[in-house]
Structure 1
Amino acid sequence: MSTKLAVPCLLLLVATAGPAFAADTLPEAIAAPGESVVLSVHAEGAQVYECKAGADGKLAWAFREPIATLLSEGKTIGRHYAGPNWEHADGSAVVGKAIGNAPGATSGDIPWLKLEVASRRGSGVLTPATTVQRINTHGGKLDGACDKAGEFKSAPYSAEYVLLKKG
């Protein structure tokens, strides 16, 4: 093989292997060594907050639920909502329970998460998933005081959700 051909092939190999390398650089708290990808999707939506009294009696924004569209190659393939649930268009769905987190890139980004699948329903793409990672978050954080108990406010966010299985 000539060098002229080898370099573009090597670059193509590195470009296509990129996401696999990215998994190796995740913070330890959310890493899932030995697990393989079932589905990786982009999410666009909002984190919904409610104005509630805290332990100190002062009103502050408290996280209520996520509402997001799951996208693959620019097409809607599912949704993410309270539970937290991830539901695929084929009817398969999983509910996660947070077991690890790491800070987002900026103070306005919600944390990266590792969730274990606590339950599943339907049969399809998501059925074998045992772990969900939320990575590459942008936005979604709402902190601070609020004025009226029961008021809702949404903070737009995006993230990548990687659904994994053992082995």
Structure 2
Amino acid sequence: MNYLKSVTLAASLLTGSAALAADSLPDAIAAPGETVVLSVHAEGAQVYECKAVADGKLAWSFREPIATLIAEGKTVGRHYAGPNWENVDGSAVTGRAIGNAPGATTSDIAWLKLEVISRRGNGVLSGATTVQRINTSGGQLAGACDKAGLLKSAPYSADYVFLRKG
């Protein structure tokens, strides 16, 4: 996909042209007119739980993410269930998915656009209105589960771009 190269470049910038990022992303997760406030890389795991599904069979169900947020080689925060993102400056946001696009391969979790639904603290994330999860690698869990309640994780990485309107 051609947009992957452009997005990788755009996401690697801590600040930059939101128009470049918006023009490079699939429409479902683009945020035209919004400005990047922070871009970080995440390394972590997507945690799944073995649960009964509608037909009574067991299947892996997404439970929560657990990830370290990194910028310029330094840990700058964490990402966890909610979904929540916390920055070391004390600011934090919770989001709700409002758009998605497939990852580059079937092993990669989807790219997401999330609307910020709550904020805590003062700092770089306090003005964020949108979060994009892009450049995903891994995170999909394959294989059968045979015991309800079992937990299993799938390593993943992604870039998270925090944006604000205006």
Give the structure-1-normalised TM-score: 0.88
CA distance in structure 2 between the partners assigned to 1:30 and 1:22 by the alignment? 10
Asked if residue 154 in structure 1 is aligned to residue 117 in structure 2, the reply is no
Asked if residue 108 in structure 1 is aligned to residue 107 in structure 2, the reply is yes
8 Å contact from structure 1 (residues 113, 133) kept in 2 = yes
Aligned Cα root-mean-square deviation (Å): 0.9
Question: 1:25 Cα deviation (Å)?
Answer: 1.3
Indicate the SS of the match to 2:30.
coil
Match of residue 127 from structure 1: 126
Aligned residues: 150
* Structure 1 gap ranges (5+): 1-17
CA distance in structure 2 between the partners assigned to 1:98 and 1:143 by the alignment? 23
CA distance in structure 2 between the partners assigned to 1:143 and 1:54 by the alignment? 16
Q: Deviations over 1:22-62 (max 9, x none)?
A: 44110000000000001000000000000000011000000
Match of residue 72 from structure 2: 73
8 Å contact from structure 1 (residues 94, 127) kept in 2 = yes
Match of residue 84 from structure 1: 83
CA distance in structure 1 between the partners assigned to 2:96 and 2:142 by the alignment? 23
8 Å contact from structure 1 (residues 94, 120) kept in 2 = yes
Q: Give the structure with higher Rg (CA).
A: 1
Give the structure-2-normalised TM-score: 0.88
Match of residue 52 from structure 2: 53
Match of residue 166 from structure 1: 165
* Structure 2 gap ranges (5+): 1-8, 11-16
Question: 1:64 Cα deviation (Å)?
Answer: 0.1
Structure 1 consecutive aligned stretches of length 4 or more whose deviation exceeds 4 Å: none
